[in-house]
Structure 1
Amino acid sequence: MAFSFGYSPWLLLLCVAVAGGLTYWTYRSTVPSLTATWRVLLGGLRFLALALICFLLFEPVLQQFQSRERPPVLAVLVDDTQSMQVVTAGDTSTARPTTARTAVRPVVDALRDKETPGTTRFFSLGEASRPLSGSIADSLRFDGARTDLTSSLQRVPQALRDENLDGIVLVSDGQHNTGQNPLRAADRSPVPVHTVTVGDTTRPRDLRVQSVTTNERAYLDSSVPVRVTLSVTGGPGGPIPVTLEQSGRTLDQRQVRLPSGTGEASVNLTFAPERAGLQQLTVRVPEQSGEVTTRNNAQSASLRVLERKRRVLVLGAAPSPNVSALRRVYEQTADTEVTARVSTPDGTFLEGPLPDDLSGFDVVVLAGFPSPSVPDDTVQRVAALVEDGTPALFFLDRQTDLTAWNEHFDSVLPARPTTTGSGGTEASFDVVESARQHPVYRIEGAEQELFERLPPLQIPTSAWSPSPDAQVLGTAATTSAPLLVLRRRAGLRTAAFLGSGVWRWALLPSALRAADPLWPGLASNLLRWARTEDNDSPVRVRPTASTFGGTEAVSFTGQVYDESMQPVSEAAVDIVVTDSTGTESPYTMDPTGQGRYTLEIGTLPEGTYRYEAQAQLDGAPLGTDQGEFSVAPLRIEYQAPRADPVFMRQLATRAGGAAYTSRTADQLPADLSRQDSFSSEVVQQSSETELWRTSLFLIAILTLLASEWTLRKFLGLT
């Protein structure tokens, strides 16, 4: 116990001494005269009151120290996922939670034994961890659809941060299929991690669909490839059929020869989509004799089928490297169909005349177009197409007729030339800081900072003025002149790239190989941004994922607006979900404020679903929305139906622990008791009390002063 003061204790002693002197001077003689006893009593009361006041004015703090012993805590993580059913069963017919529970119970009982030093805390392990109490083995369900070892190894120390955690025991089959690499988590573990491997470590006979790969998008009446990889363990070999199905209907079937013993085999399947929308495919192989499980004999994949490819009209001012660089990017884009026309000095076009009907194009790309040689009526046709709502991308080139841009495209250009001139300067492209998160800059495989290292562009001497509703995303590094300008007005999207020489970006030297994705990524993103339709619907309801796993809860988010596009928070939003058989299930979304709504409907069977949402306010309809989603069976827990003791041993070694099996787990308590690191710790706890805030001292001061005043009146002192 100790005192501390807000000011110097020597100053406090001086103040107390002054208080003592004043008290002595006050009571050294009194009128009327009192005996020495009364003077000492009255002086003592006053001195104590003054001393307490001085003491409290110096803000005294009482510090108390306590020591207590905390026993060591052992955290036991028990794998509660579906794979535990398989690795503890002799065959698929006996793969049940009871078999896994029977295998885990001796390990749990050994760790709960009284001989285990310290305190034991049990947690289940799956996608997340949860505390277990009571009958540990009986509370395990072994139904987790994913195994995330890293998450549990990180969260349990956080949950026990106020206790003396000295060790972690991981009871598992060693299979992990979600989250980061557990070995890295073991390297950073604050305490040793001991592992107990449960389940059969031999390689049982098993045939599984290892992977199914197909396009994310496909088109009607086109052939879609599906690449299937099979993995076999302990198989006899020979041919088997691989079937591609959709809603129980066979789309394609091929024979593939499996290797004998252990190995892989691949086969290519195809199908032709017959309808647009989100579709789910299932690849299935027949059951083989003696398989440990058949739950991995099928795997699903989803893709979105579009009615047709995006049609793009590319118009060039003249044959040039810039036009070639643009065409090359768009012609290599899988979901884009390019029609290119490049003007010539005599006013005609290479590759044929301009199509008679331009209304079928989704985006117009003006690669320097028009040049001065293009007839006005042709330019007017293109300008009318853009004014009617077709998105347009304007790329400036040396041959561009800026007068024609001002005359025919004035109402749709994101930026207008306020002055015109010949020639130009070179400058590098600079990304506007506030626009770094814009979708056109989300380029996979390259950092935005690499734009600064790209070859310089040719910047015209013309001055450009962005329209008030435009957004400048890129500027010239030397002059800050706008180089990339985007605009959205009344549903029409247009963009202007006001620097020529992009062909240099498409032909980078080897020293800039890291920047290779920038040009094709930027050009593709501009096209995708221009084609994206603005959603001005008053009701917007979307599933949180296009494809949900078999054990994932299907959920929706929604937004509701009135005619003035103001959020509506009191609407009734009803959703009807329809499965592939036509069965309808109605639900109601819950409001969360600011016009937003949520809904979670739980898990659904495998298949493709349609939904329709309708919002009403006081019985008046506000609007509707609709869409599709799919539910795929989640079988990743059955992809490796055996225990992995090698991995468990690696994890224990890297975390400073020891590896055990279900047969040797009873040795763990004795091993822990012999370790110096697994022991109780003495915790020093201190507490502080601010005495100057304590009311008891105020009461004591008032009591002392009141007593002195009462005695003075009783004795007749003035």
Structure 2
Amino acid sequence: MTLLNIIYITLAVIFALGFSYFQYYVKSKRNKKERLILFTLRTLSVFTLLFLLINPKIKSVTIQKVKPDLVLALDNSESISYLKQENNLSEIALFFKKDEEINKRFNVHNIGFGSEILAIDSTNFNAKQTDIFKVLDDVKSSFKRKQNASILVTDGNQTLGRDFQYFNASKNQKIFPIIVGDTTKFPDLSISKLNVNRYAFLENKFPVEVFLNYSGSKNIASRFVILNDGETVFSEEVNFSEENRSVRLEANLPASQVGTQTFSAEILPLKNEKNTVNNQNNFAVEVIDERTSVLILSSFPHPDLGTLKKSIETNKQRKATIKYASENIVKLNEYQLVIFYQPNNSFNNWFEAIGKANLNYFVITGTKTDWNVIKKSLPFLSKSGSNTEQDFYAEINPNFNQFQFEDIGFLNLPPLQDKFGDLKIDTDFETLLYQNLEGVTTKQPLLMISRNNAKSSAFLFGENIWRWRTKIFLENKSFEKFDKFIGGLVQNLSSKKKKERLNIEYESFYYSNEIIKFDAQFFDENYQFDPNANLKIKLKNDSINMVSDSRFLLRNNFYQVSFNDLQPGEYEFTVSEENSGIKKTGKFSVISFNGEEQFSSANFSKLKNLADKNESQVYFPDQLENLKSELLNDNRFSIIIKENIKSQAIIEWYILLFILVGLLAGEWFYRKYKGLI
């Protein structure tokens, strides 16, 4: 409160006393008791009124203690139980939960991690993969504005994500690793990594790349073998020493039978080797006998041609060939799809040949397109207008449902160029992308698909699609989104299958550490996506007498169901739509693989590197008191005292208004009671 306010309040007191004294004591004939009561009430009411008019500000001070955060990150993966460290980890969690000094100094947060991060009260050690880098990075992001100590309780065995030993903590974060598990290194052979393509082509050979590791100090020899249905399809002697701890092998295996082929890779164990689980690795390959070939036909060079070829061939099952319309010798029976790029007079015979061969096609127009040729060869499509060039931005049609695709940010992509004019289309089609002119959405298609039973065609009304691929690379450092979109489009167009009301997408095999997902679409009798379908899936595994029923959930324009706990084996499934009775059946395999059982000891070296990089040190379960002392004596984790000063005007104190009304009312009723009014 300022000095001026104090002066005003003093004057208000004097004025209230003087005013009331003059009114009730000067020449007053009332008795002493009445005068005293009326004088008091009037003095208080006048002072209260003046006090509100002066409206001084009252400052209040509150003291707040801000404790630093202590994040206890507990490894919830299966490797903890495999190394028999459940009790150690639980005791560590209980120590920090119950310790009074720790809880008085810190806000303690318990989280569990595997491949994902969860806030937990207890651990169950059922996570099938471990991503240590992710948990450190998430804690860094979540507490970046607050001082925190991160206690990482783990065996250091990571199966997923970036290498955590190179993690850089923020200036507010201090990491203290607690190592659980035996750090003793026993002689051990292991398959550290196995790389193989998911698909192979019939009567071809597919490569398998294997990295073998050795932990030990003696010179040893072993043999690496790959088995298929119990028969050895590859075998090679391998030698290790203290200096030569890693060996890379490459095997080229024959794809001799269509379907899913399961293989077992094994490095024969040492005598008395402690952990032999990591000596084996099962894998599978789906052998297919088809390869999609796409013919890209143009009459002149353009960057779009190379862009289409690269995107199509990102999928190793597809091959794209660029030809010019002037060439006469082209074997059309070798292709499943033909892309006509900006047709002109040289394309007349090609349209006729494609019609006779009953091939699917994709027409891309642009500034050099001769629309007279298109109208002559494809009478259902024409464009009226001028030769003026126009920029067309792309806007997605949210109701498109012929196949599933991701919005790659079409509206933010560079515009495509074509001749200005109105399209006239006299056929059934579905628009995938609309034309957007300077921010205004039109009903004219930019990309549309037409399907007539087993024959499909698509039309893109604009050139310079190469700019889309470049833009996506600049934003994502990868062409993947664009290539995936083009791949889905090509896959849809090259298919000769008649459109069905129930479509299911799934893999022919999964690994047991994967989440198994099924995507489905259901269409009504007019082949429009039905968001009210009632889809369910029935899984059956006869070898383990397992039957399971689940329902699909709607996700935008498709249905989805997932499983994450299926045992290895062969499964049959039936997907049915209950309202229509439509069903589809299929089968898939779950291949045994558990990355969490590949370790025989804790990874001391990586956890030590993490601690050294972040100017800390590693601890063991029997050193919790030492860690506690380190935390309590570190000045960076001191409790911060915050003083909050709040200034509030008296006029905001509504209780004074009620007091004033009460005083005036009290005086009035007293005077009324005494007959003075």
Aligned counterparts, 1:93-104, within 5 A: 97=84, 101=87
How far the C-alpha of 1:603 sits from its partner, in A, is 0.3
Q: Which amino acid aligns with 1:177?
A: T
Aligned residue number for residue 716 of structure 1: 675
Work out the CA distance in 2 between the residues paired with 1:716 and 1:368. 107
**Would you say 1:45 and 2:35 are equivalent positions?**
no
Q: Following the alignment from structure 2 to structure 1, what is the Cα–Cα distance between the partners of residues 463 and 109?
A: 64
Distance change >3 Å, CA 672–CA 55, structure 1 → 2: same
Does 1:350 find its partner at 2:319?
A: no
Q: Which runs of 5 or more structure 2 residues have no equivalent in the other structure?
A: 399-403, 439-444
Cα distance between partner residues in 2 of 1:147 and 1:263: 23
Residue 195 of structure 2: aligned partner: 213
Structure 1 residues 61 and 308 mapped into 2: Cα distance closer, same or farther (>3 Å)? farther
Counterpart of 2:385?
418
Matching residue of 2:442: none
For residue 210 of structure 2, what is the amino acid of its counterpart? V
Q: 2 CA distance for matches of 1:568 and 1:180? A: 39
Task: Report the Cα distance in structure 2 between the residues aligned to 1:236 and 1:283, rounded to whole angstroms.
Answer: 23
**Residues 225, 520 of structure 1: alpha-carbon distance in 2 compared, 3 angstrom cutoff:** same
Counterpart of 1:364, as a letter, is: V
Q: Offset at 1:237?
A: 3.6
Secondary structure of the residue that 1:432 maps to in structure 2? strand
Q: Measure the CA separation in 1 of the matches of 2:149 and 2:236.
A: 52
2:573 to 608, 611, 614: 611
Partner residue in 1 for 2:441: none
The separation in 2 between residues aligned to 1:280 and 1:558, in whole angstroms, is: 26
- Which residue of the partner structure matches residue 700 of structure 1? 659
Match of 2:378 in 1: 409
Q: 1:149 aligns with which of 120, 132, 139?
A: 132
The equivalent residue for 1:240 is 223
1:266 to 242, 249, 252: 249
Do residues 585 (structure 1) and 585 (structure 2) align? no
- Distance in 2 between residues matched to 1:291 and 1:33, nearest whole Å: 116
CA distance in 1, matches of 2:240, 2:328: 56
* Cα distance in 2 between the residues matched to 1:498 and 1:592: 34
Could you tell me how far apart the structure 1 residues matched to 2:17 and 2:555 are?
A: 70
Indicate whether 1:380 and 2:380 are aligned.
no
Q: Does structure 1 residue 495 correspond to structure 2 residue 459? A: yes
Aligned-pair CA distance for 1:178: 2.9
Structure 1 residue 587: deviation in Å?
A: 0.7
Q: Does 2:137 match 1:175?
A: no
- 1:170 is paired with a residue whose SS is strand
Task: Tell me the residue number matched to 2:535.
Answer: 573
Is the CA contact (8 Å cut-off) linking 1:69 and 1:680 kept in structure 2?
Answer: yes
Give 1:366 deviation, angstroms. 2.1
Report if aligned partners of 2:512, 2:590 keep a CA contact under 8 Å in 1.
yes
Structure 2 counterpart of 1:176, one-letter code:
Q
Q: SS of 2:360's equivalent? A: coil
For residue 250 of structure 1, report the CA deviation from its aligned partner.
4.4
Q: 1:655 aligns with which of 610, 614, 628?
A: 614
Contact 1:218 1:303 in 2 (8 A): yes
Whole-angstrom distance in 2 between the partners of 1:29 and 1:604: 97
User: Residues 56 and 603 of structure 1: is their aligned pair in 2 closer, same or farther, counting only changes over 3 Å?
Assistant: farther
CA offsets 1:145-175 (integer angstroms, 9 cap, x no match) = 333333444556888999x976333333333
Inter-partner Cα distance in structure 2 for 1:151 and 1:214: 26
Contact 1:117 1:669 in 2 (8 A): no
Q: Answer yes or no: is 1:363 the counterpart of 2:340.
A: no
Paired with 1:149 and 1:500, the residues of 2 have a C-alpha distance of 43
Q: State yes or no: 1:293 paired with 2:254.
A: no
Moved more, 603-612 or 56-65: 56-65
CA separation of 1:321 and 1:594: change in aligned 2, threshold 3 A: closer
The whole-number CA distance in structure 1 between the counterparts of 2:499 and 2:27 is 95
- Please give the residue correspondences for 1:635-674 in structure 2 after superposition, counting only pairs within 5 Å: 635-661=594-620, 666-674=625-633
Q: For residue 329 of structure 2, what is the amino acid of its counterpart? A: E
CA distance in 2, matches of 1:326, 1:680: 59
Given that residues 73 and 166 in structure 1 are in contact (C-alpha distance below 8 angstroms), is that contact kept between their aligned partners in structure 2?
yes
**CA pair 410-524 structure 1, distance change in 2 beyond 3 A:** farther
For the 8 Å contact 2:269–2:276, the answer to whether it is kept is: yes
SS in 1 for 2:574: strand
**Could you say what secondary structure the match of 2:272 adopts?**
coil
1:614–1:623 Cα contact (<8 Å) kept? yes
Distance 1:561 1:251, change over 3 A: farther
Separation in 1 of the partners of 2:323 and 2:128?
54
Q: Which segment is superposed worse, 21-30 or 331-340?
A: 21-30
Residues 145 and 40 (structure 1 numbering): CA distance in 2 closer, same or farther, change over 3 Å? same
- Out of 350, 364, 370, which is 1:394 matched to? 364
CA distance in structure 2 between the aligned counterparts of 1:633 and 1:103, rounded to whole angstroms: 27
Describe the shift of the 1:656–1:339 C-alpha distance in structure 2 as closer, same or farther (beyond 3 A): closer
Tell me whether 53-62 or 694-703 shows the greater mean CA deviation. Answer: 53-62
Please report how far the alpha carbon of residue 659 of structure 1 lies from its aligned counterpart in structure 2 after TM superposition: 3.0
Q: Distance in 2 between matches of 1:188 and 1:519?
A: 32
Change (3 A) 1:350 1:648: same
CA drift at 1:123: 4.0
Q: Deviations over 1:449-499 (max 9, x none)?
A: 9x89xxxx9x89x6554568767799999xxxxxx9422245744234755
Aligned in 2, Cα 1:78/1:401: closer, same or farther, shift over 3 Å?
closer
Cα–Cα, structure 1 residues 713 and 597, in superposed 2: closer, same or farther, change >3 Å? farther
Aligned runs of 1:291-690 on 2, under 5 Å? 291-317=273-299, 334-337=316-319, 342-344=324-326, 349-351=327-329, 355=332, 361-367=335-341, 369=343, 371-372=345-346, 375=349, 379-383=351-355, 390-394=360-364, 402-412=371-381, 416=383, 418-419=385-386, 432=393, 463-466=420-423, 485-490=446-451, 492-496=456-460, 526=486, 528-532=488-492, 539=502, 550=512, 554=516, 562-563=524-525, 565=528, 567-569=530-532, 572-579=534-541, 585-589=547-551, 599=561, 601-607=563-569, 609-617=571-579, 621=580, 623-625=582-584, 630-661=589-620, 666-684=625-643
Q: Supply the AA of the counterpart residue of 1:257.
A: V
* DSSP 3-state at the match of 1:648: helix
What is the aligned partner in structure 2 of residue 136 from structure 1? none
Deviations 1:116-171, CA, capped at 9 Å, x for gaps: 795685846431556677xxxxx665554333333444556888999x97633333
Give the whole-Å Cα distance in 2 for the aligned partners of 1:291 and 1:70. Answer: 53
Q: Deviations over 1:305-349 (max 9, x none)?
A: 4441113344454x86889858975689732356777554xxxx5
SS, match of residue 34 in structure 2: helix
* Offset, 1:214: 2.3
Contact 2:24 2:38 (C-alpha < 8 Å) held by counterparts: no
| Shift in CA distance, 705/615, structure 1 to aligned 2, threshold 3 Å | farther
Counterparts of 1:192-207 in structure 2 under 5 Å? Answer: 192-207=174-189
The percent identity for this pair of structures is: 16
Change (3 A) 1:324 1:112: closer
Deviation at 1:604, TM superposition (A): 0.7
What TM-score do the two structures reach when normalised by structure 1?
0.69
Counterpart contact for 2:111–2:117, Cα < 8 Å: yes
Q: Relative to structure 1, is the Cα distance of residues 182 and 595 closer, same or farther in structure 2, using a 3 angstrom cutoff?
A: closer
Deviation at 1:606, TM superposition (A): 1.9
Equivalenced residue count is: 643
CA distance in 1, matches of 2:587, 2:650: 68
Change (3 A) 1:548 1:593: closer
Aligned to 2:113: 126
Give the aligned CA root-mean-square deviation in angstroms: 5.7
* Cα distance change, pair 640–682 in 1 and its aligned pair in 2 (3 A): same
Conserved 8 A contact 2:572-2:587: yes
Q: Which moved more, 1:365-374 or 1:22-31?
A: 22-31
